[in-house]
């Protein structure tokens, strides 16, 4: 393929998946935003975990983020991050029971709100985290690709032993529209597709949830604490006004 045309094709795919989410998941996003807004109005933390590899980026995307809610408590579990070794990360996300340990370590339970963001929506850490949080009494939101989960073979090695999909077991679900295998560009005479989309998709979904939740509260005359970039003038001063409310509650601050 001629140089530049690959970028053009990828650009169309990125815009395409964002458009698909915007047009077909808007109602679900607003529904989840209302749930988040009602939770934050009670001054409760919102937990989020992206179990495994690049899914961890979804949790990072809305944590300590300029323009984002201060009430977000990201679970940045090191054993499922690529920074400790990519193969170890993959093995951990496939380990039955591990997601339950993480949820209980954060004491997620009755009255809590927990987002599980994993584009594939099938691995053991993802499913166990959602199941354990629900068993503990939390409300669980799932961000995942329904197409990928529904079309991945039930006997695939990455699947949870129950063969369940994330979107089937959560209280609220948003479809991030990622295709099976994530990568979308096919080059002539090259076997493997290139150009993954899941990070774009998850980031768009989660930022939409956050900004819609903030807008709901502002419309009601409520001003939730929102992070300002520490690299912008006045950022540190603004953030420090609220730090005492979260410093001892959010583990990774």
Number of structural domains found in the chain: 1
- 251 occurs within a structural domain: no
- 130 occurs within a structural domain: yes
Q: Residue 242: give its domain's CATH number.
A: 3.40.50.10490
Adjacent-strand bridge partners of 115: 48, 141
Its pTM stands at: 0.96
- 252 occurs within a structural domain: no
Predicted pLDDT of residue 3:
79
- 190 occurs within a structural domain: yes
- 212 occurs within a structural domain: yes
d(CA 166, CA 122): 6
- 154 occurs within a structural domain: yes
- 104 occurs within a structural domain: yes
Predicted pLDDT of residue 1:
79
Predicted pLDDT of residue 2:
79
In terms of residue numbers, what domain contains 137? 5-246
- 253 occurs within a structural domain: no
Tens of each residue's pLDDT in the chain, 253 residues:
777 899 999 999 999 999 999 999 999 999 999 999 999 999 999 999 999 889 999 999 999 999 999 999 999 999 999 999 999 999 999 999 999 999 999 999 999 999 999 999 999 999 999 999 999 999 999 999 999 999 999 999 999 999 999 999 999 999 999 999 999 999 999 999 999 999 999 999 999 999 999 999 999 999 999 999 999 999 999 999 999 999 999 999 9
């Amino acid at each position: 393929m001629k140089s530049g045309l690959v970028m053009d094709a990828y650009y169309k795919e990125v815009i395409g998946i964002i458009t698909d989410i915007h047009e077909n998941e808007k109602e679900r996003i607003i529904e989840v935003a209302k749930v988040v807004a009602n939770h934050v109005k009670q001054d409760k933390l919102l937990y989020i975990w992206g179990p495994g590899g690049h899914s961890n980026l979804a949790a990072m995307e809305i944590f300590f983020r300029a323009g984002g809610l201060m009430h977000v408590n990201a679970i940045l579990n090191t054993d499922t991050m690529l920074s400790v070794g990519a193969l170890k990360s993959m093995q951990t996300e496939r380990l039955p029971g591990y997601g339950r340990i993480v949820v209980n370590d954060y004491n997620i339970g009755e009255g809590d709100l927990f987002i599980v963001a994993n584009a594939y929506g099938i691995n053991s850490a993802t499913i166990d985290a959602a199941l354990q949080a629900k068993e503990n009494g939390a409300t669980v939101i799932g961000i995942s690709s329904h197409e990928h989960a529904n079309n991945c073979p039930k006997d695939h090695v990455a699947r949870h032993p129950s063969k369940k999909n994330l979107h089937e077991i959560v209280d609220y679900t948003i479809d991030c529209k990622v295709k099976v295998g994530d990568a979308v560009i096919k080059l002539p005479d090259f076997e493997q597709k290139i150009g993954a989309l899941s990070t774009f998709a998850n980031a768009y979904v989660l930022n939409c949830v956050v900004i819609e939740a903030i807008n709901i509260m502002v419309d009601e005359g409520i001003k939730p604490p929102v992070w300002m970039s520490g690299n912008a003038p006045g950022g540190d001063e603004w953030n420090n006004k609220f730090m005492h409310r979260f410093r001892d509650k959010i583990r990774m601050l």
